Chain A
Amino acid sequence: METLNYPALGETLVRHTLSNGLRILVAPKPGFRRAHAIFATRYGGADRRFRLGDRWIDTPAGIAHFLEHKMFDMPDGSNVLAELSARGASPNAYTGSAVTAYHFTCTDNFYVNLDTLLNYVSTPYYTEESVRKEQGIIAQEIRMYENSPGSVGYYRLMEILYAHHPVRENVAGTVESIASITPETLYNCHKVFYNPSNMVLCCVGDVDPEAVIAAAERILPSQPGEQPNRDYGEPESPLPAERRSEREMEVAQPIFYMGVKLDAPKSGADRLRFRLLAELALDRLAGPSSGLYNDLYAQGLLSRDFGFEVDDAAGAMTMLIAGESRDPEAVADALFERIDRVSHRGPDAAAFERCRRARYGMELGGLDRFSGYAGALFRGCMDGWNALDVFDLLQGFTAEEAAEFLCSAVTPERAAMSVIRPAG
């Protein structure tokens, strides 16, 4: 057990790896009533093709998400969601492109709930009947996403940006793809990906790290299980597969998603540093205090829900810029014009310093939002970085570095845009 202290942040982090390979992270939060536990596997929508024993297996789109839904059924016919809820906890789960995470938040009975969490996620139980029933529920979930202009716009962007990397597919799959899922495929996926050595347990709250470790040791299998071998296909070109997508839906005004594939270091602290640099560069380019945002806002081309982020999943790092605008092309043109100006005039050190401070404050506030904090901790653990390192890393960037990043990574040739236009 290793304890890391961050006195300037008022934080402590306890890390431990069990002999079965499970990594455990605990961030004690004295004074808080709420405690959050998350048990996550490095397995998501993008992990469609993998090796089991000596053969490669191809699975239908949406299977990781389907498996997530079915983890709550127990062999005795009970449903864990109901059991945890009956104790007053708020349990839930989510599936991303690269991870599936099961979590609960509670103010009471934390250790009993933790036992339940560890138990059910390591107990696969699927029947023909329960799989059939879930197909109806998930079909409605997929229809809900199909109705959401934001979700459609995002996935259209990923489809044109990436030629074949599976992050381009909807994590939930399609109504057709999930129809072919059987209990056997689910058992295979659980066997390959739900091994202690492929998982991370993370707790944030006023909890005792030793008790958390003891629970995991007591409940989980003692063997690490096999190391999953997954296939995301050939490396992607740095250029988008297609540049444009247009769709019509019932929306008030056009919604746009712009994206750029980023060529980031493979893993570890370098990858974290790279992502942070990309975020800072975006803050400076398009954040609330940028000339770009304020000009476009004043011209009526952007609204307050304009935003951007850097997505990092399954080895694919993507810069996303999204918003609503009556003229998305004008927004894109203005963006590249600004970058062009930076490359000629050089960076503004004072403005960059303000962005760095703003980012510091934002990351600091994030330490009180348990589910987001726990999410950053376990993802970092899977990818070889420590979420609390961002505070030190932030001090090390220069305005020149951010400007250089923008000019080289964000060019018209590398960008793609998906637009949802009002129908009719």
Chain B
Amino acid sequence: MDYFRTELAPCVWLTALRTDKFKTGCLSATLLTQLDRETAAENAAIPYVLRRGTASLTDMRAISARLDGLYGAAVEPRVRKLGEIHAVGFLSDFPEDRYLPESGELENVIALIGELWLNPNTRGGLFLPEYVDSEREKLLERIESLRNDRRSWAVRRLIENMCAYEPYAVSALGGADEAENLHYVRLTKDYRATLASSPMEFFYCGSRSGDEVAEMIRSAMLLLPRGDIDLELGTDVRMNAVEAEPRVFTEEMDVTQGVLAMGYRLGSCMLDPDEAAIRVFNAVFGGCATSKLFTNVRERLSLCYYASSSADLLKGILTVSSGIDFDKYEPARNEIDAQLDAMRAGDITEAELSAAKKAVANSLRQIPDSPAALEDFYLRQVIRGTDASPDDMAALAEDVTAESVAEIARGVEADAVFFLKGEDA
């Protein structure tokens, strides 16, 4: 897989990987903005409003018909929170020409993406109010529906409480109050300003050469406005817990099972993050099927069906979630604490470490088998300012020692606990 990276215009970059192994190619076009409560809902709404219609394909039905005709090419809004960077844009996949009776698939997809970004359906230079009103309602519905998935809801409420004074508390969709205030005039202005001032990242993976793709994107994005680009984008990493004892938050919902979510600051390891070691640390703790949480909270104590941890390497936050009976709050919380304490004390067996390293390396080595996984991986690498490949990271993971994992554990500070429980439970 040939890696290629080039600057197409000021702060407009293309990362391209050339390969013939997939049936489908992949292309994304993403604006990078600073995550902020004030602007998050507006920024999240932009690709959805743009996707409603362009100057030539004036409504969603016309766009969908065009995509169907392109053998089911997909161009969908994609809104991500990467640390405290808000990445908004489009992700596309489409069949490779060699499996189709006609060629020109990529050319057509790039032209469509260029039109979506630069040539929306407007009236008097403004977004159509009916499109904005309708997408405001959809965005609100989407924000409200987050609670339907109890597990991710509990983790979200944990983060909202734990990081109440940090932009990180805001979700990728923005807040409901801000979404409520979306207005077509302001949104058009925000769109123009954001487009002109944000770094833009393109990613391509498929059978064409990087040079060819760069040329096609350059001509499709020729009219992209470029003003003062915001080069200060970044994530503020908080090293310590907010209070000496973890803050505890509880909420009630009409549910049959409780969800315990625990949040930690990764702490001192974030001064100079060794990503491979943090990945292995997370795998030993609760990130794989041989992890301490899975083996103890689930298999040994039968307290739950799931108990796992996840680390945000950009923000330096670790979260644990587990679905338990309402009356198992104390034993589950104590056991999770106890497992982290064990790691701090260096109680990490050779077998645990070796399985965790293999799990991390294996999942990294599989990334080049999926265009969408490659897209996400390389966008995160851009934000971290590195071009290390998944294989490079996998090799580093294989060299992590038990001592470095214990060292990370010793720096981790419990910051908040959130318990979603039944009404009157």
Contacts and interface: CB of A to CB of B under 8 A. Distances in A.
Interface in A257-293: 287-291
Contact of B72 (A10, A137, A146, A362): A362
Given A150-B148, A361-B94, A88 B358 contact: yes
Nearest to B73: A361
Given A88-B362, A360-B71, A144 B323 contact: yes
Nearest to B130: A298
Contacts of B365: 33-34, 107-108
Interface stretch (A52-60, A182-190, A228-236, A246-254): A246-254
B290 to A, nearest CB: 5
Contacts of A147: 150, 255-257, 323
Interface residues of A, number: 68
A89 to B, nearest CB: 7
A144 B67 contact: no
Contacts of B303: 136, 140
Contact of B289 (A85, A150, A251): A85
A8 interface: yes
A86 B290 contact: yes
Contact of B24 (A34, A82, A149, A368): A368
B95 A364 contact: yes
B304 A137 contact: yes
A357 B69 contact: yes
Interface in A390-417: none
Contacts of B103: none
A150 B365 CA distance: 33
Given A10-B23, A143-B323, A146-B256, A289 B305 contact: no
A308 interface: no
B355 A86 contact: yes
Given A86-B290, A107-B365, A294 B64 contact: yes
A9 B99 contact: yes
B352 to A, nearest CB: 9
A423 interface: yes
A136 B300 CA distance: 11
B65 interface: yes
B65 A364 contact: no
A288 B325 contact: no
Interface string B239-259: 000000000000001111100
B386 interface: no
Interface in A345-375: 351, 354-355, 357-362, 364-365, 367-368
Interface stretch (B112-120, B134-142, B160-168, B374-382): B134-142
B368 interface: yes
B159 interface: no
18 contacts: A86-B354, A90-B362, A105-B366, A133-B302, A136-B303, A137-B298, A140-B305, A288-B67, A289-B68, A303-B141, A324-B141, A357-B71, A357-B72, A358-B71, A361-B73, A364-B71, A364-B99, A365-B72
Q: A-B pairs with the 9 shortest C-beta distances?
A: A361-B72, A88-B358, A136-B302, A252-B144, A358-B72, A143-B257, A289-B64, A361-B71, A354-B68
